[in-house]
Amino acid sequence: MQVAIVLYPGFTSLDVLGPYEVLGRLPDTEVVFVAEKPGLVVNDLKSLSIEAVATPADVTTPDVVLVGGGPGQVEQMSNDALLDWLRTADRTSRWTTAVCTGTFLLAAAGVLEGRRATTHWAGLDQLAGFGAIPSKQRVVVDGHYATAAGVSAGIDMALTLGGLIAGDDVAQTVQLIIEYAPEPPYAAGSLDSAPADVVERARRVLAS
C-alpha cells in the first residue's frame, strides 16, 4: 500500500507526522512525502523541514492520499496543479484524507461536495461554502473520505484508518507501540471544555 502525504511551505508538522507515525507502521506500507519540488519543505514555525522525495507527477495512483493543514494551506488553495492532482488521485485512491485545515484543500478540489467533513474548530463553519457538510466530530468518515479536526486529531484519524485497512488488532498494536494514551493536564482541548478566556486567547492568536 502506498500512502502519499502532501507537503507545502507552511504546513503544520503534527498534521502530517502524527498520521505518518501510525500509517507508516501498517504492514506492507510505503509512505511517500510529495511536494511541488523535491527537497526540504519548511513548516509553519520555520524550524522543522521534511524532505519530499517525489512530485505529484511521480505518484500517480496512491492508495491513500493525506493532506495536512497549516497557514500555507491558504496559498495552496489556488494551486491548480495541486488541486488537479488531488482530483486525479482521488479517482483511484482507496482513501482520500485530510487533517485540520487540509480539509479545505480537498474541498477546494471539489471532492467533498455533499460529503460530511470536519476541520479545525476555527474554520469549521466555512466548510459549507465549499459544498461540504460540516461536522463537529473529531474524525469523520464518509465514503472513502476521512477527515480529522485540528492537528492532534490526525492521530485518531490514522488509527481509525488503520483499523479499516488492516483490522482492529493491527491498529491497536500500532497504538500500543506508539503508546498513544493521552492524559492531558488540562481540559482545554475543545471549545466545549476550554474556559472562555482560553477560547478568546486562542482566537486572538489564530487571528494574528
What is the H or E stretch that residue 197 is in? Answer: helix 196-207
Q: What is the pLDDT of residue 10?
A: 98
CB 165 within 8 A of CB 1: yes
**Strands 2-6 and 30-34: what pairing?**
parallel
| 203 is a domain residue | no
Q: What is the pLDDT of residue 203?
A: 96
Encode 19-40: b = buried (16+ Cβ within 10 Å), e = exposed: bbbbbebbeebebebbbbeeee
Residue 60 lies in a domain: yes
What is the CATH classification number for the domain harbouring 71? 3.40.50.880
When pLDDT is averaged across residues 69-89 and rounded to a whole number, the result is 97
Task: Tell me the mean pLDDT in the region 132-157.
Answer: 98
User: Is 100 labeled as catalytic in the residue annotation?
Assistant: yes
CA 109 – CA 121 distance, rounded (Å): 21
Angle at 37 between CA 35 and CA 42, to 5 degrees: 65
| Residue with grid cell 473520505, as numbered in its chain | 145
pLDDT of residue 8: 98
For residue 157, what pLDDT is reported?
98
In a domain, 200, yes or no: no
* Predicted pLDDT of residue 53: 95
Do the domain assignments include residue 193?
Answer: no
Looking at the structure of the chain, the number of domains it has is 1
Give the three-state DSSP class for 50: strand
Q: What amino acid occupies position 141?
A: V
Residue 17's pLDDT is 98
Please check whether residue 89 lies inside any domain of the structure: yes
Q: Which three cell numbers stand for residue 106?
A: 480537498
Domain ranges, residue 174 = 2-183
150-197 pLDDT, tens digit per residue, is: 999 999 999 999 999 999 999 999 999 999 999 999 999 999 999 999
Closest to 110 (Cα-Cα) out of 134, 136, 123, 129: 129
Catalytic residue among 16, 59, 100, 105: 100
Please indicate, yes or no, if residue 208 is contained in any of the structural domains: no
Across the chain, what does the average pLDDT equal? 97
Tens-place pLDDT, residues 43-52: 999 999 999 9
